[in-house]
Chain A
Amino acid sequence: MLLSRNLISLRAVSVALALSVTTTAGTAVHAQELKAQVEADFGQLDPAFWQSTADLNVIHAVFPKLIEFKNSETWEWELSSAESIEQVDEVTIRFTLKPGLMWTNGYGEVTAEDVEYSFERFKDEALAAPNAGDWAPLKDVEVIDKYTGIIHLNEPFAPVWWSTLPYSAGAILSKKATEEQGGKFTTDPKATAGPYKIERWDQGQRTVLVTHDGWNGEAPGYERVELIPINDPKAAEVAYEAGQVDIAAVAISSVPELEASLPEDARLEVRPTAGYLWLGLNAENPDLQDPKVREAIKLAVDVDTIIEGAYFGIPDRSTGLVAPGLVGHREIEMPGRDVAAAQALMAEAGVTSLDLELEHQNSTDLQTAALIIQANLAEIGINVQLNTHETGTFWSLGDEKGVNMQMTLKEFTSPPDPAWSTQWFLEEQAGIWNWEWFKSDEFEKLHYTAMAEVDLEKRAEMYHQMQELMDASHSYIWLIHPPVSLIHTKSVNPGLYPNGDYKLQDFQPAN
């Protein structure tokens, strides 16, 4: 009780104070050192087991990959540790490593055998890797010589160029070092070969990365990077203002104020992520089984007001679960609010009044969004009870409530491939992560077909169709792709993936 009361105070008071104090800009300029705020400590550096952005920040920096996403606002990859890579046919990818890339701690040179080991271990049943799906269609990796190998797939697999090779599953491990560790590790890999290596990790306080002498690619901009875990975005903002970090993620609620009075030597970067936020309606629930009721709710919810009220008008309205910049994103006009049509649908359904429950997490933005939805639905005779949950409780609701779940405000994150997003809405996920209990044979078929479709246009069309099926179910009211907002000193040119995640090796000191 004391804890929760104080945490509420923390948020409320920090908002008030942050807005009321004229601050000096961050001054933590270290010519050879970058101090970057991260949301949390890393917990799993094994690419087959990673779970969070904090893990990814370090995995991307310390393990080499054949190809790598660019420091850019669009998802495009470039060669990294591969000298060349080519898709020979739909199920064959040939690569050649750049010679001279060395493992730390004397584990020798990075070879095609390491690549073979790194990718094939995902399929090892004894490893029981939760992320095995990243390499699900992998047949094997054939080693041609020290630097050259051929990746054989059992079937065409489009995500291989999006969420596999340039992402975490494309990370190359040292076969010898990993086998010495029993075939897996958590936070302490014995050998790495990326642009940075881990110098030290003080759990809860800092992770220090330093440049790796054995890296044969472009030298990172900073010799030393300190990652400082600060979970609360307001605390992160204060840390930036106090000059203790060079870059920090700030709360979306701070963006309007910061834009209005940005310190002279600071820059603000706001980017949409590949994640998606939506209001989900459980079609299996007796009170929501009638599609007319679900459609009425969809027409009654004022998405624009939610964006304005809860997100300060910053993000664009979402058109589906596929974010801008990804294959299958829809550039369409979403229908506006229509209360009269919603009321007519309720009358057609023979529902004059209805009591529903809306489950949501306890963040300020989601609470505001829930309040707006409650007010919107009151206009069509729906009385909404808001059930606020802390994070852990919220994500266990699927097990707890099952079909008794009614409405949920949910946010998923996603790597840059739409298959990652659509996998949660398959029938096998009903009640697990598919809380809308959405079931569509056509959707299932398209999901698997699209994964095997390497023609981008055809693939995009399939994801359009899948989103249309979701729309037609009236179980999904798409809200936004939650943005990430970063403040940094002008002395730093940040290296960022399109979704705002750090690409640490591409951070550069500004001249």
Chain B
Amino acid sequence: MIAYAIQRILIAMLIVLLAVTTLFVMIQFVPGDPANVMLGPRATPELKEALRERLHLNDPFIVQVYHFFIGVMRGDLGVDLTSNRPVLNILIEQVPYTASLVLAVLLIALLGIPIGTYAAVHRDGLFDQVSGVVSVSLIAIPPIVIGLYLILIFSVQLQWLPAIGAGEGPWEIILHLILPTLAIGLTWIGYVSRLVRASVIEVLGQNHVKTARAFGIPNRRVMRAYVLRVALPATVTVLGVSIGFILSSAVIVEILFARPGIGKLMYDAVISRNYPVVMGTVLASTLFIVTATTIADLLNVMLDPRSREAG
């Protein structure tokens, strides 16, 4: 298990290296001069050139990658081209907003497990049919649309929940988290419930479950020890991988809800060609995704050791 964990961590580091290098290559092809961002339209060509030199923008991309990783190792991600603030400080401020949103989405996505399980056990029943229709509908509707309707209903019409911002103080923070979480999370409840339903139905038909039932083991125990234990690892893996999708939804949802966070920061930085912030946010989100998938992989192995050999 330890050897497997080390192997996964090494792969994770390689992925981060590749992701950041790939982004550097992509940035070479994106039009737009960061010197204009930092200095504005009135800056002289000499001022702009001096800045490009200072930021290593005239260097070959491999040299820029080198400078970036050397900086990362020293805890220096560069400075925001607009405000001149260290990117690391900005990320430290913004990460909790996105992390809390992703965590909240994952938590409510777990509601899909009992829904999917119940639907599988009562296959073709009314609950199964209704939950099937609702789940597929939720999967089909983009988070942006769900978010807009949630705002219009709960913020504009009913004025129960805030539409924008992230709030201050625990209660306010929770209130501000509800609508963005639902905007992304409803889709994932639907997705997880369909996934769990399919897995449970498959496992219910397997011989070891039939044997357990033949031995008269109580149904609740069969479900817990013989069905869910086999059916859930796949769901854990999916939830781990889903972090990436949740993060991409967070970009949109953070813009819609004018909510601070990595997604909004990344979007604004890309639009304004604020490359140090782009690189910082990409590094942060890549680390976030890679860490989550690695943890999911390790959990999967713990829950189902067979997957280690399969992997």
Contact = CB atoms under 8 A, between A and B. Distances in A.
B188 to A, nearest CB: 16
B238 interface: no
Contacts of A264: none
B163 A242 contact: yes
B43 A130 contact: yes
B174 to A, nearest CB: 16
19 contacts: A9-B142, A10-B256, A21-B152, A23-B157, A27-B159, A49-B39, A51-B40, A130-B43, A131-B42, A202-B260, A203-B93, A204-B264, A205-B165, A228-B164, A228-B165, A228-B258, A242-B156, A244-B155, A392-B32
B39 A130 contact: yes
A242 B155 contact: yes
B252 A3 contact: yes
B144 interface: yes
Contacts of A203: 83, 85, 90, 93-94, 260
A238 B155 contact: yes
Contacts of A128: 47, 50
A396 B258 CA distance: 27
Interface in A199-246: 202-206, 228-232, 235, 238-239, 241-245
Given A130-B42, A130-B43, A243-B159, A17 B268 contact: no
Nearest to B149: A17
A312 interface: no
Given A17-B152, A128-B47, A235-B256, A242 B82 contact: no
Contacts of B283: none
B158 to A, nearest CB: 9
Contacts of B39: 49, 130
Interface string A229-271: 1111001001101111100000000000000000000000000
A10 B255 contact: yes
Contact of A2 (B42, B94, B166, B248): B248
B50 to A, nearest CB: 7
B82 A43 contact: yes
Given A128-B50, A186-B83, A238 B31 contact: no
Nearest to B46: A128
Contact of A187 (B30, B41, B83, B143): B83
A400 interface: yes
A107 interface: no
A244 B164 contact: yes
Interface in A100-148: 128, 130-131, 133
Nearest to A6: B252
A43 B84 CA distance: 8
B40 A244 contact: no
Contacts of B255: 7, 10, 231-232, 235
Given A6-B144, A13-B145, A43 B31 contact: no
B273 interface: yes
Interface in A371-407: 390-393, 395-397, 399-400
Contacts of A400: 31
Contact of A24 (B156, B164, B252): B156
A411 B39 CA distance: 19
A43 B82 CA distance: 5
Interface string A183-198: 0001100000000000
B242 interface: no
Nearest to B251: A3
Contacts of A130: 39-40, 42-44, 47
A422 interface: no
A302 to B, nearest CB: 30
Nearest to A184: B84
A396 B90 contact: no
A390 B271 contact: yes
- Ranked nearest first, the 7 interchain pairs of A and B with the lowest CB-CB distance are A204-B260, A43-B82, A242-B155, A130-B43, A392-B32, A186-B84, A242-B163
A62 B82 CA distance: 19
A393 B31 CA distance: 5
Interface string B132-154: 00000000001111001101100
Interface string A455-468: 00000000000000
A97 B43 CA distance: 32
B272 interface: yes
B289 interface: no
A214 to B, nearest CB: 26
A205 B83 contact: no
Contact of A13 (B33, B144, B163, B260): B144
A418 B256 CA distance: 37
Contacts of B156: 21, 23-24, 238, 241-242
Contacts of A391: 271
A204 B252 CA distance: 15
B156 to A, nearest CB: 5
Interface string B233-273: 00000000000000010011001111111001101101111
B148 A13 contact: yes
B142 A395 contact: no
B251 to A, nearest CB: 6
Contacts of B291: none
Contact of A396 (B32, B256, B260, B265): B32
Nearest to B36: A395
Interface string A1-22: 0110011011001100100010
Interface in B1-48: 30-33, 36, 39-44, 47
A186 B36 CA distance: 16
Nearest to B45: A432
B83 A238 contact: no
A57 interface: no
Contact of B258 (A21, A44, A235): A235
Contact of B151 (A205, A230, A238, A424): A238
Nearest to A429: B41
Contacts of A2: 248
Contacts of A229: 258
A187 B252 contact: no
A433 interface: yes
B152 to A, nearest CB: 5
A23 B155 CA distance: 10
Interface string A45-68: 000010100000000000000000
Contacts of B90: 203
Contacts of A230: 164, 258
Contacts of A43: 80, 82-83
A273 to B, nearest CB: 17
A29 to B, nearest CB: 13
Contacts of B47: 128, 130
A206 B164 CA distance: 11
A186 B38 CA distance: 11
Interface string B80-121: 101111000010011000000000000000000000000000
Interface string B207-248: 000000000000000000000000000000000000000001
